[in-house]
Amino acid sequence: MTSTRTSPPPVVGPAPRELRARLRRARRRHHPGSLGEVLTDAYVVVLFVALYGWFAVAAIRDHLAAPQVTRTDPGDRYWIAVAAVTAGAGLAWWGLRLIGPLLVTPATQTWLVSSPVDRRAWLLPRFGGLVGGVTAGAGLLAVAAAFAGGLDRPADLGWSALAGLTCGATATGCAVIAQSARATPRWAGLLTVGLPAVGAAIAVLVVVGHAVGWSLPLPPVPLTAGVGLALLPVAVASTVRAHRQLARVDRAALTTGAQFANAATTAAVLLDPSLLAALVESRRWRAVGLVRGRRFRPGGRFPVLLQAEVRRLSRRRGALVGWAGALLTMYAVAVALPSAAGPAHVILAYLATGLLTGGLRAVSRSPGLRRSLGGNDILLRLTHLVLPGVGATLWYLATLPALRSVPGPLDAVLLPGVVTAAFWAGTRPPMRYGGAMVNTPFAMMPVDLVRQVLRGPDLVAALVVVQLLWS
């Protein structure tokens, strides 16, 4: 017997070009701004970045040309710079993986990504913009860094540009390839850990060698030439492979970084970094996953809370690694830039202490948590200040030989000041947006908003001034 049922016709997905045209028309109806306004905003942003970027490059170049810096060993300064760039590349790779790097908005996720549209053709403009933007940005940043380091010859700047371009293209292509995989590839995790580890190993070698009177020699040819030529085929291959893998970037991978990007945008617009810090903290604890519970030793509220804080910190390996990394950075700065070691000591001490104030921030920003823990607010906050205080003291004493042989009266001011600044920043209440405004010759200045944003760093700036005037 022959069946009379007929199968429905296959669903034909809409063309991506047609979808993009409809979206552009819809956006014009909701945002009637002209092209001239968009170009004006872009011009203001480019002018702002170029102006302050050139000011920073010129200031760094002048500082490196100062006599107190040029007296240091050129090999030490060169390899410390290599270590900093390597560690920075690892952090940039971590940032690319954190935001996607390809991502879509919630509306696109709901209405377009779930439809039978050609995924590769739909993502191709985003991929092209991402590769072009990151590659061009990395190239410009490499040229600016080379010029700030004192390189003037066109050949050196050209090799630096090639190294930056190939690094940017390689990182973007590899990040998209990793995003298209079902599970996180092992090589992606190794890059996240390996690049900062290599940078730290180079810094340790330079610091130890400087202590025993030995320095790494300068390479016969710039490393940027070798990096640029070695990564050129890798950049082309990874970009081509990433283009082929666009069709495999699924909906979950496209929306992973959207929440982080939205939180970063909201935090930047509202000048409230706690919005982004809360998301990073929640992701960090989700990555920890299941932990084994253990009983606390008997005692009062203070000993039990202190035990919980110690266990919580032991499960945050990133904070401990950052604390140790700040310690190594201090010695690297003392070797390469001894004239900036004093202010860097205060700033790095504050940053290292701030990494240990996670419990203090959680208790201070959650009235419900304080009520569930019991006791008064002062006791809870002082309890969660013990570990940051101990960590700041250990860090300060461990790095003090980089500045002076024995502690002095200045240290009796700076160390409590750093702990106070960390406590001041960690106990910052939620942002309020109804404060006083002051009319200045430039524009209206939200004084109360600036005061809340600078709570903590303002005290660090005062300590830096004290350090400069006292030493």
Q: Give per-residue pLDDT as tens, 329-372.
A: 999 999 988 888 899 999 999 999 999 998 888 888 888 888 88
Q: Using CA atoms, how far apart are residues 387 and 67, in angstroms rounded to an integer?
A: 41
Say what the pTM is. Answer: 0.85
Q: Using CA atoms, how far apart are residues 303 and 310, in angstroms rounded to an integer?
A: 11
The predicted structure's pLDDT at residue 443:
66
Q: Is the pLDDT of residue 1 over 60?
A: no
Q: Residue 231: which pLDDT band, with cuts at 50, 70 and 90?
A: very high
Q: Give per-residue pLDDT as tens, 430-470.
A: 878 777 777 776 667 778 888 888 888 999 999 999 988 88
Find the helix or strand (DSSP H, E) in which 411 lies.
helix 409-426
Long-range contact pairs involving 13-21 (C-beta distance under 8 Å, separation at least 24): 13/115, 13/116, 13/117, 13/118, 14/115, 14/117, 15/118, 15/121, 16/117, 16/118, 16/121, 16/122, 16/124, 17/121, 19/112, 19/117, 19/122, 20/125
Q: Give per-residue pLDDT as tens, 19-54.
A: 888 888 887 777 666 777 778 878 888 888 888 888
Q: Residue 143: which pLDDT band, with cuts at 50, 70 and 90?
A: very high
The predicted structure's pLDDT at residue 132:
93
Find the helix or strand (DSSP H, E) in which 41 lies.
helix 35-64
Q: Give per-residue pLDDT as tens, 91-135.
A: 999 888 888 788 887 777 777 777 788 888 888 998 999 999 999
Q: Give per-residue pLDDT as tens, 172-222.
A: 999 999 988 888 888 988 998 999 999 999 999 999 998 888 888 888 888
Q: What is the mean pLDDT of residues 213-239?
A: 89
